[in-house]
Chain A
Amino acid sequence: MRRTFYILLRNPLSLLGLVLIAAVVLSAILADFVTPFPSHAGAVVDFAHFNQPPGWPYIMGTDLVGRDLFTRIIYAYRISLILGVVVLAIAVPIGVTIGLFAGYLGGWVEYLLMRLTDVFLSIPPLVLAMSMMGVLEPTLTNGMIAVTAMWWPWYTRLVYNLTRSEKEEGYVLAAEVIGASKLHVIFREILPNCVPSILTKMTLDLGFVILIASSLSFLGLGVQPPTPDLGSMVADGAKYLPDSWWLTVFPGLAILVAVFGFNLVGDALREILGADQ
């Protein structure tokens, strides 16, 4: 673990990724202290300063009702990160457990679980989320449910394949021979060997979940106003391009920074942990 961290710090790209992630996460957590106008995260209007280009004190400009864009972006990070963490916290245990059981038990259990997974995988993620959000109310909670529903099958796939290969390892047979139970073999022997790959995918996915959530709110199916959200900020600003360019460019860059950071670190982790095995 310490070695992994050390390698991450030495590679300039992954170091950049770590810095970006740290900046995003810290600013989101400390949003109340680092933003100049915390009240602008809510339903506030200040028509005296509406639609102002970047300058002082509005370093990224203001939106059409005079709210500070920088403040709103930082608060939007908060929502995005919460969404990402909650989605993964629900999707990963479900996906991993199903993958472990399907891979280890085999037979009809495998057939049933993996075909179910295939059904979910066959639906394009955005379409599934859109139809779910169309039927349900477009709220943050429903957004999380929709994204979770399309996210777990990828973990099932990953862990299923890992389990299939770990199952053939000598230590699994050795555990079976000394009389270990199926649950013991699955959770104590196989799962720990899958953890590096799962963690790597989670790091990468945190960026992608933010991206998908932004796409949903870009389409008007995500978080609703006045809650700040990167996707809906881009969508709202797009109507005023190119004159009020800051309304789209800064939220867009904000998405890029977050996704890029998680991707850099995820890629580096994949290389480090992959080379270990």
Chain B
Amino acid sequence: MSETTLRIRDLRLGFMGYTGLVEVLHGISLHIRPGERVALVGESGSGKSVTARIVLGLLQSLRSAQISGLVEFEGRDLERLPDHERHALRGTRMSMIFQDPTSSLNPVYPIGTQFQEVLRRGAPGISADEARSLAATALRGVAIPEPERVLESYPFQLSGGMNQRVMIAMALANEPSLLIADEPGTALDVTVQAQTLRLMRELVEKHRTAVLFISHNLGVVREFADRVYVIYKGRIVEQGSASALFAEPRHPYTRALMSAVPRITGGGIPEIEDASADYFAPIEVHEGFAEPAA
């Protein structure tokens, strides 16, 4: 199945604690095809971010983490890949965007220096001048009007929205085939968030980058994603196309999640049950959106 960029099958994760094994993921399966934008939606602590970290190989070094299941990237089983090959994928074939763009940039270096390091990852022999002009082009691509000035600036001299654009430009600079966006822009205000999301969508469409979009913000997911997986307490509870899922949420948890969004027209903060036996109901798969057979 080489036409999937990322395939996760029956991924389980537990942490060894003093009281024994605490299970965090109970067998997650999902797949992303090239150029597809897939959202993973759930509340805090549902296992969204750890899934992303496993894909990037950041959790495997923790000795307390017990991981099983298959994570396949472009047809290659990441667990069976030697360390250096896996390491080589990071920052080149897959990259990531974080919640808070300003803290994701090192405050002591100007943007240009940091951009150059990112580009060196993809093309080790690149000269400083080449890197600079590539960086300037990439910044122009994310609608930054004066790239030369921004390259000279330090992250704290730029606004959050600017930094977010810089992060997007950096993440896409090496033309990765998979971009993991972990709640991008949650730390930004909504108007800036909307702008940067639109920008990101245009860019991934242009480069045919597959995106794993992790979010708890349903409004953003609806606008951005092609397909949606809803995750609750380490289990996928519903999956389907974004339009179908939002038009007709089938799983009790998905429905609760949607009714929990405060309306701009008022009506107070909706009340939903914290936990309900219904939320553990079996997975709802929309027709035609099942996991491909192995």
Could you tell me which A residues sit within 8 Å of B by CB distance?
A: 107, 169-171, 173-180, 189, 192-193, 195
Contact = CB atoms under 8 A, between A and B. Distances in A.
B100 interface: yes
Nearest to A190: B106
Contacts of B32: none
B51 interface: no
Contacts of A169: 103
Nearest to B101: A170
B239 to A, nearest CB: 26
Contact of B103 (A170, A177, A195): A170
Contacts of A177: 56, 58, 90-91, 95-96
Contacts of B56: 177
Contact of A171 (B90, B106, B121): B106
B150 interface: no
A195 B87 CA distance: 29
Interface in B96-120: 96, 98-100, 102-109, 117-118
A171 B107 contact: yes
Interface of B: 56, 58, 63, 87-92, 95-96, 98-100, 102-109, 117-118, 121, 167
| Central interface residue in A169, A174, A189, A192, by most chain B CB within 10 Å | A174
A170 B109 contact: no
A170 B107 CA distance: 11
Dominant SS among interface residues on chain A: helix
Given A179-B92, A179-B121, A174 B105 contact: yes
Contacts of B88: 179
A178 B107 contact: no
Contacts of B105: 170-171, 174
Nearest to A191: B108
Nearest to B100: A170
What are the nearest 5 A-B pairs in CB distance? A178-B91, A170-B103, A179-B90, A170-B104, A179-B91
A175 B92 CA distance: 13
B58 A192 contact: no
B209 to A, nearest CB: 15
A192 B98 contact: no
7 contacts: A170-B103, A174-B98, A177-B58, A179-B92, A189-B106, A192-B106, A192-B109
A192 B108 contact: yes
Contacts of B92: 179
Contacts of B63: 107
A107 B61 CA distance: 11
B98 A173 contact: yes
Contacts of B118: 178
Given A107-B63, A176-B58, 11 more contacts: A171-B103, A171-B104, A173-B58, A173-B104, A174-B98, A177-B56, A177-B91, A178-B91, A180-B91, A189-B106, A193-B107
